[in-house]
A and B are shown apart, each in its own frame.
Chain A
Amino acid sequence: MRGGEKETAEIVCEKACGACCTRLANFSVKIGRRLILDNINLHLHCGEMVALIGLNGAGKTTLLRAIMGEVPHRGELRFIPFKAGQRAPLVGYVPQKLEIDSSSPVTVLDLFCGALSFRPLLLGYGKNCRPQAQKALALVGAEELIQERIGALSGGQLQRVLLALALTPLPDILLLDEPLTGVDKAGIERFYETLANLRRTYDLSILLVSHDLLAVGAVADRMLFLHQGRIECEGTPREVLQNSWVRTVLGFERETVGRLPLPKAKPDLHMARNDEVAG
């Protein structure tokens, strides 16, 4: 199904869609005496973008952190590649907007070399460093930012750089925690477009936490509503956002349930855009 779009990909899930996925079974997280996440059962298929929504304090960030391994969890977390076997998933993570000192002299290249190589940055960039960084930045259309200081980047530029970093090495599952806080509209559209392209090319599983329900609902394949540590509603974005209980919990007045706009049907991202500027 997705095989025809592989031309530029280097590492590809060589399979028919649906056979490879990240599986959470009976997944729960307890911190102290509080049960933050309870009995989460989830399959995230390769090439699928899943939006995770819910109120503040529902446990969304904890779920991401538990998948990353930062927080101990009970239950099963397994990645099942197309070829037989099971292993722990390789996780890429794009954090929320970082507070970076705007005077910091660290450049994007410094960041990549520091994160990817063992050779101390002060002794010079490693041989593989620059090509790796260029390749990663090319994935997100940010090649020209390589010598820019991190502190001088705009919100959208920084998020794209962090996305490139999260994709190196190519992960099984990409986690994004409200990655577009503080990014302008053009940056948001550009980011989602990049994500959609990556998803198609590399068959990534993407789990995306966002409060921007309509925007994320327009690009996600599936939506999960997390409430008090449990997945209370699951389905396509239209289904979830049409559910009257979900709308009540999220604070949409009962009277306006009928009048609230729903996400449009997913846009055709193959369409060329006039205003698309390379890089």
Chain B
Amino acid sequence: MRQALLAILLLCPLLALLGCMVISNNMAFYSDAVGHAALAGVAIGVLLGMRDPLLGMLAFAMLLALAVTSMRRYSAVSMDTVIGVTMAFSVALGIVLLSRGGSFAAYSHYLVGDVLTVGQSEIKRLALLTLIVLGLWMMFFNRLLLLSLSRSLASSRGLRVWLLETLFAILVAAVVTAAIPWVGLLVVNSLLVVPAATARNLARNTVGYYSLAVGVSLASGIAGLVLSFYWGTATGATIVLCAASCFALSLAWRRKAGCSYPI
């Protein structure tokens, strides 16, 4: 239980912080695709005989990130279509490979996750990943912020748009993939998006936006973990339900406060 709590305390804020920028960049479909495509990553990992398919998942996720940002740069195809097709292909590939011989049930824990599989070494790995991702992200934060505000503004100030986009896509892919064994690929995108969406309803400036998202995600994370323990439900999904209630409250607050701009 203690390990599970540590994992939640590390993972939820990390996902919330990146999620804020994912929403600002209108990348929620992309992060959803990365999560679902992990199924193919698992399959590849299993095929290659890895005991822990996490490496296969990460490799596949990086590939996906590069493919999407390259297609954005070099072709005029709509991003929506590209991501949709790529996701459909990856999910199908994963299911086909994993269900061969009727053995899919053995992998279904990737769908909903299992926080109780967290051990000491997994916590250490997660802490290391958090350090690397946050370190890189902070280093480039100002530039990524400008990019999320407007591509042409960023480009006019001399920023390398494609490199920054790719960097961020890779960071998102890494964090989403790392979170899947514990919260499940069906809900990992919600953990990115829902706390950030809640914060967006309430924030008046950038620092407020990111802080509120972290606050909401920590509160939902702890509440969700505890509730899932008592109810015997999947932790990831329970956390998302808590976060969704926060979002509903924030919507009500906005209406009460009379905000006029759309989300």
Contacts and interface: CB of A to CB of B under 8 A. Distances in A.
Given A103-B261, A149-B205, A152-B261, A122 B141 contact: yes
B207 A100 contact: no
Nearest to A151: B261
Nearest to A125: B207
Contacts of B145: 106, 110, 114, 121
A140 interface: no
B142 A114 contact: yes
Contacts of A102: 261-262
Contacts of B153: 95, 98, 162
Contacts of A115: 142, 146, 157
Contacts of B204: 105, 107, 149
Given A100-B150, A115-B157, A105 B208 contact: yes
Interface string B125-152: 0000000000000110111011001101
A145 interface: no
B164 to A, nearest CB: 13
Interface string B168-212: 000000000000000000000000000000001001111111100
Contacts of A231: none
A93 B138 contact: no
B156 A110 contact: no
B150 A70 contact: no
B150 A99 contact: yes
A69 B158 CA distance: 8
B3 interface: no
A115 B146 CA distance: 7
Interface in A87-134: 93, 95-96, 98-107, 109-111, 113-115, 117-124
Contacts of A98: 149-150, 152-153
Given A69-B158, A120-B141, A121-B141, A104 B149 contact: yes
A70 B151 CA distance: 14
A149 B157 CA distance: 20
Interface string A161-194: 0100000000000000000000000000000000
A95 B156 contact: yes
Contacts of A99: 150
A107 B139 contact: no
A107 B152 contact: no
- Residue of B142, B143, B152, B261 with most chain A CB atoms under a 10 A cut-off: B142
21 contacts: A70-B156, A95-B153, A96-B152, A100-B149, A102-B262, A105-B200, A105-B203, A106-B205, A110-B145, A110-B206, A110-B207, A114-B142, A114-B143, A114-B206, A120-B141, A121-B142, A121-B206, A122-B141, A123-B138, A124-B207, A147-B205
Given A104-B24, A114-B142, 13 more contacts: A68-B156, A93-B156, A101-B24, A102-B261, A105-B206, A106-B145, A106-B205, A115-B142, A115-B157, A118-B142, A120-B141, A123-B138, A147-B205
Listed from nearest, the 10 A-B pairs whose CB atoms lie closest are: A120-B141, A105-B209, A114-B142, A105-B203, A110-B206, A98-B150, A107-B205, A120-B138, A114-B145, A93-B156
Interface of A: 68-70, 93, 95-96, 98-107, 109-111, 113-115, 117-124, 147, 149-152, 162
